[in-house]
């Protein structure tokens, strides 16, 4: 985020003061482990790119199965991002702007999918929305069948992506502070007016980057989808599942599709990286 858009609480000014105080500099030896750290992430990606069969790349990634999977991935990721925004924004507001007993526990639990193995998420969703799950019977009476449907994919993606939106948005909310909201309230604005006219415009950049991150996470979702939704071309077989299957018979296609996914993810992370993480970290540091 550029200092000019850092928000009204003088974060830019604070940062300038910090840099004016000057960093004492790093010891040289730290460069070696740092380089190894960068390599640990970059080397496998480079090794994969080196394996791409470039002469076949275009036909491989534009095969009907690949395009169907990519289209399904983009549609479901967009739908789950929308769900994350609609449900995650209120959740972040409640966590950042209120205090109630058990709040810390609730926050920790909501963020759990960040560290849970996705397959565990899949099993949890199965026992919730599955035919014999907690809500499954009720849903079946209503004529809604979630298992093996695109809805199941969206639910799985929402489950794993939601914490990304909540954590980054809560960071943004705390960074923004509630001064403007307090002023608006003293001027007689009702809570709903304050929310829609002051708070939401203020956190819009944070919301956007949180949404982009959620989209990226949803796009990469694999384990929960495999466990909960199944794998059928055009219905539940998203790009990661297609890669997993292609690997069995056509490793070249799997590598080519992996590269497409890496490229999409790289663009998404590049777009949102600075805004989101600086916001979240600032809040954590305070």
Residues that bind another protein (CB under 8 A): 103-104, 107-108, 111, 114-115, 126, 130-132, 147-148, 167, 170-171, 174, 226-227, 229-233, 236-237, 241, 244-249, 251, 283-284, 286
- The region that residue 168 occupies, defined by phi over 0 for left and psi between -120 and 50 for alpha, beta otherwise, is alpha
C-beta pairs of 60-65 under 8 Å, 24+ apart in sequence: 60/250, 60/252, 60/253, 60/256, 60/257, 61/256, 61/257, 61/260, 63/253, 65/233, 65/242, 65/246
CB of 151 to another protein, least distance (A): 13
CB of 82 to another protein, least distance (A): 25
Task: Please say which residue, 11 or 237, places its beta carbon nearer to another protein.
Answer: 237
Q: Which residues are within 8 A (CB) of 126 and not within 5 positions of it... i.e. 6 or more apart?
A: 133, 227, 228
Task: Please say which residue, 86 or 108, places its beta carbon nearer to another protein.
Answer: 108
CA-closest candidate to residue 131, choices 113, 144, 118: 144
CA-closest candidate to residue 131, choices 121, 123, 142, 139: 139
Residues 126, 147: Cα–Cα separation, whole Å: 8
Residues 133, 171: Cα–Cα separation, whole Å: 35
Residues 66, 39: Cα–Cα separation, whole Å: 30
CB of 193 to another protein, least distance (A): 25
CB of 117 to another protein, least distance (A): 9
Task: Please say which residue, 30 or 108, places its beta carbon nearer to another protein.
Answer: 108
CB of 251 to another protein, least distance (A): 7
Task: Please say which residue, 46 or 270, places its beta carbon nearer to another protein.
Answer: 46
CB of 140 to another protein, least distance (A): 12
Residues 8, 199: Cα–Cα separation, whole Å: 12
Torsion, Cα 151 157 158 161, to 10 degrees, reads -170
Task: Please say which residue, 74 or 245, places its beta carbon nearer to another protein.
Answer: 245
Task: Please say which residue, 113 or 205, places its beta carbon nearer to another protein.
Answer: 113
CB of 75 to another protein, least distance (A): 18
Task: Please say which residue, 197 or 233, places its beta carbon nearer to another protein.
Answer: 233
């Amino acid at each position: 985020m550029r200092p000019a858009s850092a928000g009204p609480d003088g974060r830019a000014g604070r940062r300038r003061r910090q840099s004016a105080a000057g960093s004492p500099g790093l010891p040289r030896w730290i460069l070696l482990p740092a380089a190894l750290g960068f390599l640990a992430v970059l080397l496998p990606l480079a090794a994969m790119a080196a394996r791409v069969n470039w002469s076949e790349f275009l036909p491989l990634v534009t095969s009907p199965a690949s395009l169907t999977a990519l289209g399904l991935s983009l549609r479901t990721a967009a739908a789950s991002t929308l769900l994350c925004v609609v449900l995650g924004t209120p959740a972040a507001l409640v966590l950042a702007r209120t205090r109630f007993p058990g709040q810390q526990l609730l926050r920790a639990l909501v963020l759990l999918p960040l560290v849970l193995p996705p397959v565990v998420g899949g099993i949890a969703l199965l026992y919730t929305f599955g035919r014999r799950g907690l809500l499954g019977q009720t849903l079946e009476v209503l004529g809604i069948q979630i298992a093996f449907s695109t809805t199941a994919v969206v639910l799985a993606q929402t489950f794993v992506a939601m914490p990304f939106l909540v954590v980054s948005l809560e960071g943004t909310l705390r960074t923004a502070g509630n001064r403007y909201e307090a002023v608006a309230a003293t001027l007689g604005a009702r809570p709903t007016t304050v929310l829609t006219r002051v708070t939401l415009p203020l956190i819009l950049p944070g919301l956007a980057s949180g949404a982009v991150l959620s989209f990226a996470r949803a796009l990469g979702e694999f384990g929960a989808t495999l466990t909960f939704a199944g794998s059928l071309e055009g219905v539940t077989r998203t790009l990661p599942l297609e890669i997993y299957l292609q690997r069995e018979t056509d490793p070249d296609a799997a590598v080519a599709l992996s590269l497409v996914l890496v490229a999409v993810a790289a663009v998404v992370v590049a777009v949102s990286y600075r805004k989101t993480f600086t916001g979240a970290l600032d809040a954590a540091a305070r």
